[in-house]
């Protein structure tokens, strides 16, 4: 499902027990200097990631100062984040003139410990090639490195490398728990484009060999993926970014089932097996 950009007034875009992606939670919080925002999401662990700006974060009495620091957009610096345990009250204070903050969440009942992920702890993987039109890089904020600290939540940022091209290909899905072949992970994206007048296409094919749906995505679009194969593309001449939230039903590690029609291309796209291994 595509949710067009709108002013959410700091209220969740994907709320708890969403009918389409109940394992996910997503909010965008926009603040000005010294403005405070507090939230608490029972039954969901969350991660606070400034898209732009600098904030202080407090969770369960733990203080994390100077989180973020990116400038005009998500390309202007490296991401940072704070993990907030399930149901814990979090408080953020804006230290810059403005800040735009993503709050990602996954359903999980157990209460763990809060922690920060700094720039030098981001796990970067780059794969694909210009020849295969799949060149991109992924910055894991809550990824393999945090496997023993988080319940079900995976959070990453995906960037196309160069202008134009495809992402999420070969097409895959993760909507059914049937180990070791596949896991059930709900997924939510928020897209950005550079320049921001750019746009792209999100495909969603429910069944192999049958026509699916396509959504015109623009700067600020949110897409919720409940089931099906879901590659996306950006127009030539533009760069694409998407903030990615994955919430697992029975485990955190993601097992993708690649569409039989295209699975052979796993062997032709450079570095893709390293990419697959990082979603753990």
Task: Please give the pLDDT value at position 164.
Answer: 84
At 268 the pLDDT is 75
Pairing of β 24-32 and β 98-107:
antiparallel
Q: pLDDT value at position 248?
A: 97
The tokens describing 146, both together, are: 């945090």
Residue 268, SS3 per DSSP:
coil
pLDDT at position 249 is 97
pLDDT for 239 = 95
Locate 143 and state its tokens. Answer: 């990824």
Name the 3-class secondary structure at 264: helix
The reported pLDDT for the residue numbered 280 is: 62
| Regions of the chain with pLDDT less than 50 | none
Which pTM was predicted?
A: 0.94
pLDDT, residue 267, reads 84
H or E element at residue 272: helix 272-278
CATH 3.30.43.10 for domain 17-278, yes or no, is no
Q: What is the pLDDT of residues 223-255, one digit of tens each?
A: 999 999 999 999 999 999 999 999 999 999 999
Question: What is the structure's pLDDT at 279?
Answer: 66
Instruction: Tell me what pLDDT residue 274 has.
Output: 67
**CA proximity to 234, closest of 137, 159, 173:** 159
Backbone angles phi, psi at 236, to 5 degrees: -55, 140
Reported as half-sphere exposure (CB side, CA atoms, 13 A), residue 247 has a value of: 28
CA dihedral 98, 94, 87, 278 (to 10 degrees): 60
């Amino acid at each position: 499902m595509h949710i067009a950009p709108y002013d959410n007034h700091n209220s969740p875009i994907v709320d708890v027990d969403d009918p389409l992606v109940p394992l996910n939670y997503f909010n965008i919080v926009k603040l000005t200097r010294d403005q405070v925002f507090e939230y608490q999401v029972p039954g969901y662990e969350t991660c606070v990631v400034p898209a732009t700006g600098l904030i202080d974060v407090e969770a369960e009495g733990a203080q994390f100062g100077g989180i973020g620091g990116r400038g005009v957009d998500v390309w202007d610096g490296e991401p940072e984040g704070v993990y907030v345990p399930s149901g814990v009250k979090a408080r953020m204070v804006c230290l810059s003139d403005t800040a735009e903050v993503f709050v990602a969440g996954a359903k999980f009942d157990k209460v763990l410990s809060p922690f920060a992920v700094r720039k030098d702890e981001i796990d970067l993987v780059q794969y694909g090639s210009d020849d295969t039109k799949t060149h991109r890089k992924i910055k894991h904020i809550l990824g393999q490195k945090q496997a023993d600290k988080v319940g079900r939540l995976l959070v990453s940022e995906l960037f196309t490398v160069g202008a134009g091209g495809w992402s999420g290909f070969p097409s895959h899905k993760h909507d059914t728990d049937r180990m070791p072949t596949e896991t059930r992970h709900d997924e939510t994206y928020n897209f950005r484009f550079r320049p921001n007048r750019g746009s792209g296409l999100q495909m969603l094919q429910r069944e192999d060999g049958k026509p699916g749906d396509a959504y015109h995505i623009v700067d600020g679009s949110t897409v919720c993926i409940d089931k099906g194969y879901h590659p996306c593309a950006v127009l030539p001449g533009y760069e694409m970014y998407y903030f990615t939230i994955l919430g697992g039903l029975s485990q955190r590690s993601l097992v993708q089932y690649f569409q039989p029609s295209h699975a052979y291309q796993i062997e032709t796209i450079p570095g893709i097996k390293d990419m697959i291994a990082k979603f753990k």
